[in-house]
Structure 1
Amino acid sequence: MTTQPTPKGSTGTPKGAWQITFLLFLFMVVNFADKIVVGLAGVPIKKDLGLTPEQFGTLGSSFFYLFSISAIVIGFVANRASTRWILLILALIWAVTQFPMVGTVDFTTLVICRIILGAGEGPAAAVAIHAIYKWFPDEKRTLPTAILSQGSAFGVILTMPALGWVINAYSWHLAFGVLGVVSLLWAVAWFALGKEGPLASTSAVVADEQRIPYWRLLTSRTFIGCVAATFGAYWALSLGLTWFTSFIIEGLGYTQKQANFISILPWVFGAVVVILSGWISQLMLARGFTTRGARGVLGSVPLIVGGCILATLPYVPTGWLMPLLVIGSGLCGAIYVVCPAMLGEFTPVSQRGAMIAIYGALYTLSGILAPQVMGNVIQHATTPMAGYMSGFTINAAIMVGSGVLGLLLLWPNTERARLAGTSQPAGAIKGAMSPT
């Protein structure tokens, strides 16, 4: 067995890279705490405002109305502007949009604030990834990307008990205010400690900075595969953010206090999946596997397996629902680790911020659809439980389909050659699943 050579342009990890990684991890913790609060407070919000399942689905979807547009616009800005200042401005927007909910609000005000918050959070993950890639060379990016992705899981794991206590002891209004204060605290820390990475002009696979037309990048099969695969994963995540706590209370009969802790389980399992995926991917690369196997296959197969598990939910005893739902939805996490790294393999650095942002903008469109579809299905079902089961079955089909598309389309190790119009490296396809 021979190993892949160290990519041209590779360099060591600059001093301070892990400090920035930790700060951006906290950034994503706050990001997902903001996302989860509506789902966590779903039952009291529905009661206080008299919302139907369809209206609550609309509320969940509203967060994503400007999410994608904002992600694309700011992604292009990130190609030229300092990510340090972009991230600071985003955090301030998060804070400002939380505080109106501390007082008495109606459904319209709540929706408007969530739309503005979504516009501020749409670019967050892409800009954070673009920022962290300025601190790590290509062959060392998978693990920090996995850590950054864990901000989503820990944003739920750490804040659910805390916000749940605030909701139970005080009100759901105050929970939003707490998140506003936390966003301000992160902004202060980032202003004091945040820096721009020194590897802004370094790319592991692009020896020069020759630009590639965006239409070619956006129609490349690996880009399409990343969007398709992550679309299915984000469908499951969006349901978890909006409907999971309500399902535990309304479908399984638990109290709000019990649901606050049970809701953590999928995120704990998902955190383990993401960290393992990042570690396994990096280990496979070190042992000479191509990125087709170490990233493309590794990210796609768990989606298919997870979807198959979710498809069994309507047919198993009630006692099996929670563990199967936790495992099936948690397996989605692997794709978030590998897709940004795959896009970074063939995208010139000067275009990477926009490409990762467009990728995020497209796959998060499922965030608009998933909560609304679940709300409509529940409202028109014979019982809430039947509606939830139908919604999870739709989720299963989408996950399997997206995983299959990812498995067919994700070939990052040969994408650069295709985009450059040159022939594929000899043995690229043959060696995709085994060390080369």
Structure 2
Amino acid sequence: MNSLDGYRPRAAWMTTLLLTGLALINFLDKIVLGMVAVPLMRELNLSPAQFGVVAGSFFWLFAVSTVLVGFLSNRVQTRWLLLAMGVMWAVLQVPQALFGSMSAFLLCRVVLGAAEGPFYPVSVHALYKWFPDEKRNMPVALLNQGAIVGLLLAGLLIPVITHRWGWRMNFIVLGVIGAVWSVLWLCVGREGNLAQRARTQSGNTVVRSVPYRKLLSSPSVLSVFILGFAAYWMMGANMTWLPSYLEKALGFSGITSGRCFALVIVTAAPFSLGLSWLSQRMLARGATSRAARVRLLCVAFAAGACLFSALMLPGLSPAQKVAVFAVAGALPSVCFALAPALLSEIVPDAQRGALIGIHTALASTGAAIAPMLIGRIVQTYGGSSARAYELGFATSAAMLVLAALVALRWLHPESARRASDEPVAAGAA
């Protein structure tokens, strides 16, 4: 059957835009606490250590809920799961605006983290129900731009709101935005039926579920997990240590550092969208997924690793280092669009939500480990030394090269799909 049967572009792209808006809200929710840290700590009388516990609590149940809801998305329509997330995010902003104790804030952040953890895998799973395989790169790439816009809006709007109305007003605004999105999604959001049509129109043959132990031991699946781990490692390192690197090591003022940080964030957008488009174009022209996705991704990883390493070259000015860093971080970001697409090729539709959830949960541990390791490196070699930070960012280069080598050796989506794609008669056990 033609993979475009049942494809409805207008509805598919409307769903993509709505979910991109939810991604924007997701990142605003994540970053708002850090951006109101100073007045919040002062008013609630929190020490830096106490604030660190509150901020880190967001991730305590993040991975657990991601995996659990990933499995749930195999059985429950993503439309309702996403609506539940939007409502919970909106409601949980209210107590953060009203309460004044560390314990209340801690509880809210733990529950909010659990509610936001499954967003990405469930959103990708929802989009894949609207788009055929050869058209899946661009919608997920666009979804990822919601995060970039969210970071930019946070930098522009949260300081203004805090200055005029106080830090608590930010949580009220986020609650209202989440509520508006939830109402809009309830009225407009629908479940894609591309996968269901592929099954019902294929006669009496369906693709049976594959044992999870087989999927999780597949070299191709494990290779995708390693690619994701390296990409999240880089993201966690950059988001945590780039501002300090710009201000303490490169000597920029606080305002200029903020502008340079925004430049680095913005640079990722055209690279992610452009490489995703190129991959999709290659697929449309008959290239294999191995060439259009795996090799392209490995080239992006290798180029990014070379640029991270180039930061340590003598003679580069601070401005040149910012430009190199921006491109180094932008190239591997295409992984966030291509990795789920690779998994969706290998994994049966009925198990796709769970596997993308597991991938996100495992890969995101890279973002948790990298900042701690780089912190040790910076502390050892000096917090004001550019070389100390650059040695830390070199860990990202090492991870990217390792992941690319693993993928080039063991990631073969076509052969992995044939191994999983074992049809049985309809209704067979």
TM-score, structure 1 as length reference: 0.84
Does residue 23 in structure 1 map to residue 3 in structure 2? no
Amino acid at match of 2:7: T
Q: Which stretch of the first structure deviates more once superposed, 178-187 or 100-109?
A: 100-109
Amino acid at match of 2:235: L
Q: Which stretch of the first structure deviates more once superposed, 185-194 or 253-262?
A: 253-262
Equivalent residue number for residue 320 of structure 1: 320
Amino acid at match of 1:11: D
User: What 5-or-longer segments of structure 2 have no aligned partner?
Assistant: 424-429
Q: Which stretch of the first structure deviates more once superposed, 135-144 or 59-68?
A: 59-68
* CA contact 2:7–2:132 (8 Å) conserved in 1: yes
User: What 5-or-longer segments of structure 1 have no aligned partner?
Assistant: 1-6, 423-436
Do the aligned partners of residues 402 and 369 (structure 1) sit closer, same or farther apart at CA in structure 2, a change above 3 Å counting? Answer: same
Do the aligned partners of residues 234 and 61 (structure 1) sit closer, same or farther apart at CA in structure 2, a change above 3 Å counting? Answer: farther
Equivalent residue number for residue 397 of structure 2: 396
User: For 1:109-128, what aligned pairs fall within 5 Å after superposition?
Assistant: 110-128=105-123
Does residue 13 in structure 1 map to residue 7 in structure 2? yes
Equivalent of residue 309 in structure 2, options 311, 314, 318: 311
Amino acid at match of 1:327: V
Secondary structure of 2:416's counterpart equals: helix
Kindly provide the CA deviation profile for residues 245-288 of structure 1, in whole angstroms up to 9, marking residues without a partner as x. Answer: 34444444545544443322222111111111221011101111
Amino acid at match of 1:115: V
Do the aligned partners of residues 421 and 192 (structure 1) sit closer, same or farther apart at CA in structure 2, a change above 3 Å counting? Answer: closer
Equivalent of residue 51 in structure 1, options 48, 59, 62: 48
In structure 2, distance between residues paired with 1:243 and 1:26: 27
Does residue 235 in structure 1 map to residue 236 in structure 2? no
User: For 1:100-139, what aligned pairs fall within 5 Å after superposition?
Assistant: 100-102=95-97, 110-139=105-134
Do the aligned partners of residues 322 and 46 (structure 1) sit closer, same or farther apart at CA in structure 2, a change above 3 Å counting? Answer: farther
Does residue 159 in structure 1 map to residue 160 in structure 2? no
Secondary structure of 2:190's counterpart equals: coil
Do the aligned partners of residues 51 and 393 (structure 1) sit closer, same or farther apart at CA in structure 2, a change above 3 Å counting? Answer: farther
In structure 1, distance between residues paired with 2:250 and 2:55: 21
Do the aligned partners of residues 114 and 389 (structure 1) sit closer, same or farther apart at CA in structure 2, a change above 3 Å counting? Answer: farther
Shift of 1:39: 4.8
In structure 2, distance between residues paired with 1:102 and 1:420: 50
Q: Which stretch of the first structure deviates more once superposed, 261-270 or 337-346?
A: 261-270
User: For 1:66-81, what aligned pairs fall within 5 Å after superposition?
Assistant: 66-81=61-76
Equivalent residue number for residue 209 of structure 2: 211
Do the aligned partners of residues 63 and 331 (structure 1) sit closer, same or farther apart at CA in structure 2, a change above 3 Å counting? Answer: farther
In structure 2, distance between residues paired with 1:167 and 1:313: 36
Amino acid at match of 1:344: S
In structure 2, distance between residues paired with 1:243 and 1:44: 22
Q: Which stretch of the first structure deviates more once superposed, 409-418 or 211-220?
A: 409-418
- Identity, in percent, stands at 35
Equivalent residue number for residue 94 of structure 1: 89
Secondary structure of 2:206's counterpart equals: coil
In structure 2, distance between residues paired with 1:176 and 1:241: 22
User: For 1:176-215, what aligned pairs fall within 5 Å after superposition?
Assistant: 176-203=171-198, 208-215=206-213
Amino acid at match of 1:373: L
Equivalent residue number for residue 3 of structure 1: none
RMSD of equivalent CA atoms: 3.0
Greater share of helix: 2
TM-score, structure 2 as length reference: 0.86
* CA contact 1:135–1:199 (8 Å) conserved in 2: yes
In structure 1, distance between residues paired with 2:168 and 2:20: 26
Aligned length: 413
* CA contact 1:238–1:366 (8 Å) conserved in 2: yes
Do the aligned partners of residues 109 and 231 (structure 1) sit closer, same or farther apart at CA in structure 2, a change above 3 Å counting? Answer: farther
